[in-house]
Structure 1
Amino acid sequence: MSTATLERNETGNTMTFDEIQAFLYAEARALDDREWDTWLTFYHKDCPFWMPTWDDEDKLTEDPLNEMSLMYYPNKQGIEDRVFRIKTDRSSATSLPEPRTNHHIANIEVVTREGSKIKLRFNWHTLSYRYGNTDQHWGTSFYTIDISGPKPLITDKKVVLKNDHIHHVIDVYHI
C-alpha cells in the first residue's frame, strides 16, 4: 500500500498508511519503554483484548467466553487492571524485574475500511530479556482502529501467538 490517503469516511477523518504504521510503532514503543499510561491511551473504553489458544495444532479457539484463552480482557477496564497490577507489583504473574522488550512489526495490511473503522492485520516478533536469558514470541495481530475522534483508538484487538509452547507466564508486554 502506498502513502496515499485512505478513502475518506463520513466525518472527513483520514489516516494514511504511514500514519497507521506510526500508530502501531508508537503503541509498541510505549510497551518497550514501559510507559503504561501512554500505552493505555491507545485503547477505546469498550475494546476487547483477546489472545486465543490453540485448540489443536492448527485450530484456534473461537469463543473467549466459553473456551480457553491465553489472555482475555472484555474491555479497557480489564487492560487497566492488568497495568495497575504490573505497576504496583500486585500480581503473582508480574515479572520482577520487568523484562526488557523489543517489538518488531512487519507485513502491515489494511484488510478493510468501513467508514471510520480500519481493520488491520500485521505480524510481530518480540524479544524479551530477563535474568541473562532472551526469549522470543511471535505471531499475528488483528486490530480494528476507529479514526472518528481526535485520536485513533483501538476498538478490537486479537493476538494470535504462533509459538505457544512457552516456559513461563506470557504478559501484555511480550506480545
Structure 2
Amino acid sequence: MPLDKVIFNWAQAAGFTHVGRLERSALRFLPEVREMCASDRCRSYGRNWTCPPACGSLEEITARAAHFGRGILLQSTGTLEDDFDLDSMLEAERLHKERFLRLLDRLDASGEPVLPMAAGGCTLCERCTYPGAPCRFPRRAAPSMEAYGLWVSRVCEDSGLPYHYGPRTITYTSCILYDTDDKRG
C-alpha cells in the first residue's frame, strides 16, 4: 500500500476529526510568527526544547523541512458550550495531543522518517529540562507549527482544509512531514 494511504489510515485510526494533505507550497516559515513566540505570551520561549530558540532558527527549520516531500494535516475539533468554555477547550487540546502522540509512536515504530509539528507547546513533562539537560523524550517531543514559524490558518487554507468549523468550535491543528520515498511500493 502506498505510504500516503498508510499514513492517512493511521491518522484516521488515531481519531483525528479531520485529516488532509498538506501542500508543500503552504510551508512558509515566517519571521513574524517567530516574533510572536518571542513575545512569550505562553511563557515557554527560551524555557522549552520544543520552543524557540531551542527548536532551531528559521534557516535550520527550512533545511530540515526540505528533506521531506509530502505532509499531512491533522485536526481535532471540539464543541464549546459558549465562547469561554475553557474546560472543553482544554479537553479538545488533550485529545488532540493524545492522538498526535499515538500517531507519532506508530510512525516511529514503522521506521519512517518524519518531521512532526504539534499544536501548542510540549506538555510531555511537568517541567522541561531545557537548557540544563537533554530532552527526556526527544522522539516524542515536537515543536509546534507556530514555533517553526508557520501561520497555521494560512497553511490549512493553502492546503484546502478548513481552519474554522463554525461557531462554538475549537480546532487544534498539527502536521507531519514525511518522505516521498515510498518503500511500501
TM-score normalized by the length of structure 1:
0.28
Instruction: Say which structure is richer in helix.
Output: 2
Higher RCO (CA 8 Å, separation ≥ 6 residues): 2
TM-score normalized by the length of structure 2:
0.27
Instruction: Say which structure is richer in strand.
Output: 1
